[in-house]
């Protein structure tokens, strides 16, 4: 039925009427919905095709062809000016090494050397050792204060070494039956003498360190602080001297804590400007020596704690003194009563004889 001319004309008219509609839908409104980010295989060529010779491109081409000077054109005036300039000789600046050319260094060789150079594995340890050396050198501390401070801690270190020596002698005597240089009884007696000296000297050092702040307050170093600075000396003394009434182990531990707390206080005082700037490092070294001495003493005494007799403390002596006085009074009263009874018996015998 579609072979007739009328039907073909009808189909042709339908095609011509629907084609513009399809073209209209594929016009700019349809193109805006398309993504040109990932679907294009090459850069957009719309502008270059529509305007192959833009005004800017024409201007650049005109400048390159007319206004730019040619490369092979020689500036004769500049050349004449340079030619007429006379170079003055300066022989004093010429040296044997200035006219010589050193051998070029290969970049590959230097790169290989830098790669083959091994890292310094001991660099961190050397840095730490240098820090320790700078700390204990005390270069900023006045020499007089340095010498007096180190001399002050030497007796404390000596008592600690004596405690270790006595502990060694007592331990050796317990293992072999005899000491190396002295007997066990002599070492124990020496130990009982050294321990009160160490505790008492520690109390003196703590009191002295606290009294330094009183002197700084009277000198008005860092201004007048009043009670906060005075209390440092009061508290250190109040903690130091009661340790004489404690057993040796507890006394040394208490003094160790007191020394560290006082070091912290002195460091804070230095930070606040209450003490010289070098006082913190100075106190660190002294506290290190004293603290190490206390630790050594505790270790030495701990090895022989079960082999020696406990020496009588101050409290034991006070109790013994009080008990002894009462016993003496009782004995005296008993003797007086016996004497009185004896006298009465004598008088009765005399009366009987008469």
Residue range 156-172: mean pLDDT, rounded: 88
Quick one: pLDDT at residue 98? 66
Question: Residue 23 pLDDT more than 80?
Answer: no
Higher pLDDT, 319 or 337: 337
Q: State the Cα–Cα distance between residues 287 and 156, nearest whole angstrom.
A: 11
Q: How many CA atoms lie within 13 A of 212 on its CB side?
A: 19
Point out the least confidently predicted range of 38-47, 122-131, 272-281, 325-334: 38-47
- pLDDT 10s digits, 191-232: 888 988 999 999 999 999 999 999 999 998 888 888 989 999
Report whether pLDDT(354) > 80.
no
3-state secondary structure the chain: CCCCHHHHHHHHHHHHHHHHHHHHHCCHHHHCCCCCCCCCCCCCCHHHHHCCCCHHHHHHHHHHHCCCCCCCCCCHHHHHHHHHCCCCCCHHHCCCCCCCCCCCCCHHHHHHHHHHCCCCCCHHHHHHHHHHHHHHHCCCCCHHHHHHHHHHHHHHHHHHHHHHHHHHHHHHHHHHCCCCCCCHHHHHHHHHHHHHHHHHHHHHHHHHHHHHHHHHHHCCCCCCCCHHHHHHHHHHHHHHHHHHHCCHHHHHHHHHHHHHHHHHHHHHHHHHCCCCCCHHHHHHHHHHHHHHHHHHHHHHHHHCCCCCCCCCCHHHHHHHHHHHHHHHHHHHHHHHHHHHHHHHHHHHHHHHHC
Mean of pLDDT over the chain: 76
User: What is the rounded distance in angstroms from the CA atom of residue 274 to the CA atom of residue 213?
Assistant: 8
**Which pLDDT tens digit goes with each residue over 236-253?**
999 999 999 888 889 999
Determine phi and psi for 323, rounding to 5 degrees: -65, -35
In this predicted structure, the answer to whether residue 28 has a pLDDT above a threshold of 50 is: no
pLDDT band at 330 (very low <50, low <70, confident <90, very high): confident
Report pLDDT digits (tens) over 44-67: 555 444 455 555 666 666 666 665
Residue-range domain boundaries for the chain: 141-311, 312-343
Give percent above pLDDT 90 in the chain. 22
pTM recorded for the entire structure: 0.53
Q: What is the pLDDT of residue 129?
A: 83
Q: How confident is the model at residue 261 (pLDDT cuts 50, 70, 90)?
A: very high
Rounded to an integer, the average pLDDT of 140-161 is 89
Q: Any idea which of 1-10, 163-172, 204-213, 332-341 has the lowest mean pLDDT?
A: 1-10
Q: How many CB atoms lie within 10 A of CB 194?
A: 20
User: Quick count: other Cβ atoms within 10 Å of Cβ 183?
Assistant: 13
């Amino acid at each position: 039925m579609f072979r007739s001319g009328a039907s073909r004309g009808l189909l042709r008219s339908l095609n011509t009427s629907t084609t513009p509609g399809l073209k209209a839908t594929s016009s700019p409104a349809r193109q805006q919905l398309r993504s040109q980010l990932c679907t294009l295989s090459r850069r957009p060529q719309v502008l270059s095709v529509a305007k192959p010779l833009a005004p800017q491109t024409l201007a650049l081409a005109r400048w390159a062809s007319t206004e730019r000077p040619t490369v092979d054109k020689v500036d004769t005036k500049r050349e004449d000016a340079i030619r007429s300039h006379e170079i003055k000789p300066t022989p004093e600046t010429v040296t044997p090494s200035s006219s010589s050319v050193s051998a070029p260094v290969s970049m590959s060789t230097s790169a290989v050397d830098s790669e083959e150079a091994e890292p310094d594995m001991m660099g961190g340890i050397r840095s730490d050792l240098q820090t320790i050396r700078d700390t204990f050198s005390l270069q900023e501390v006045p020499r007089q204060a340095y010498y007096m401070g180190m001399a002050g801690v030497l007796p404390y270190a000596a008592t600690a070494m004596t405690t270790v020596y006595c502990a060694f002698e007592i331990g050796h005597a317990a293992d072999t039956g005899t000491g190396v240089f002295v007997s066990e009884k002599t070492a124990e007696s020496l130990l009982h003498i050294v321990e009160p000296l160490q505790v008492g000297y520690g109390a003196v050092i703590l009191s002295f360190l606290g009294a330094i702040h009183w002197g700084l307050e009277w000198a008005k170093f860092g201004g007048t602080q009043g009670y906060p600075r005075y209390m440092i000396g009061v508290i250190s003394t109040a903690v130091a001297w009661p340790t004489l009434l404690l057993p040796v182990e507890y006394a040394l531990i208490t003094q160790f804590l007191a020394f560290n707390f006082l070091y912290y206080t002195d460091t804070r005082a230095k930070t606040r400007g209450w003490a010289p700037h070098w006082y913190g490092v100075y106190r660190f070294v002294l506290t290190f020596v004293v603290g190490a001495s206390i630790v050594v003493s505790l270790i030495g005494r701990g090895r022989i704690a079960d082999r020696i007799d406990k020496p009588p403390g101050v409290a034991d002596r006070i109790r013994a003194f009080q008990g002894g006085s009462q016993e003496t009074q009782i004995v005296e009263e008993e003797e007086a009563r016996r004497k009185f009874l004896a006298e009465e018996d004598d008088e009765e015998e005399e009366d009987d004889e008469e």
